[in-house]
Structure 1
């Protein structure tokens, strides 16, 4: 990934009020701490995830100072059970992610580049991790666009010669359900080849 992308976070927190204060100053100063973010290379470095922060439960707490710890995000590292996972997602030129679905509501904002969001157009079968979908819908996103994904199969592609950077906010959700032959079918996390 280009070194021009920032890889740090600035965390600001309230300081305690000075006990010698005569009560006239009721608003605290702030602590400012800078932290370097760590890049997680995936798919031979073609996809990079840089965690910005995690929130284990909502509402979150604003208590404390210093650098907040990152929660361990199980499985594929996308969905934090009961919480929120926020990260940069960088796609290399020419890279396409596997088609996948997570039990979450994802807000994915494009900050640089023009990624393509790929979704299946009609119902399909998936056996042994392989899908037989015949047609897809492709949505080209630009900086400032936001994709809202509600537990659906999707893939991201970078069909340009420049890196793409997106910011993902993944909120844990109940798995989607669809009706099939009068029965409800739960759609959990799934990855296809």
Structure 2
């Protein structure tokens, strides 16, 4: 929403929400050596770009992918976690995310999927 500078007001907030309804957020996060995120699911479409380092992306199914500088992942409201394995867990790493709002997600049974962090 660009009317009445609503977008500017949101950008000035100290703690923006995880995502904006019908909007987007870009986040740059530094991971310390060996840091592992919790398993989480955001009700967003996430583009994760490895800026620096090597990360292991782990899905709730157990599927794993090694991601290196320049690699991009697309998470479609999926449960996942990140592990910084840069330098065998001895060096920091950096990831940038672009988070886009998405419509309500339902599973194969027709039940609403909820996000968690």
Q: TM-score, normalised by structure 1?
A: 0.52
**Cα distance between partner residues in 1 of 2:114 and 2:26:** 20
1:79–1:85 CA contact under 8 A, matched in 2: yes
Q: Which has the higher contact order (CA 8 A, sep 6+)?
A: 2
| Structure 1: distance between partners of 2:104 and 2:30 | 26
Contact 1:96 1:155 in 2 (8 A): yes
Provide structure 1 residue ranges, at least 5 long, that are not aligned to the other structure: 1-56, 122-135
The TM-score with structure 2 as length reference comes to 0.82
Indicate which of 102, 112, 124 corresponds to 2:52: 112
**Distance in 2 between the 1:94 and 1:175 partners?**
34
Partner of 1:177: 106
Report the aligned-residue RMSD. 1.9
* Cα separation, 2, equivalents of 1:92 and 1:176: 32
Structure with the higher helix share, 1 or 2 = 2
Alignment of 1:141 onto 2:67: yes
- Residue 108 of structure 1: how far off its partner (Å): 0.7
- After TM superposition, which residue ranges in structure 1, 4 or more long, deviate above 4 angstroms? none
Q: Residue 89 of structure 1: SS of its match in structure 2?
A: strand
Aligned-residue offset at 1:188: 2.0
**SS of match in other structure, 1:166:** strand
| Deviation by residue 1:7-41 (Cα, 9 ceiling, x = unmatched) | xxxxxxxxxxxxxxxxxxxxxxxxxxxxxxxxxxx
Q: How does 1:22-171 map to 2 (within 5 A)?
A: 57=1, 68=8, 70=11, 72=13, 73-74=16-17, 78-121=18-61, 136-159=62-85, 160-171=89-100
Paired residues, number: 108
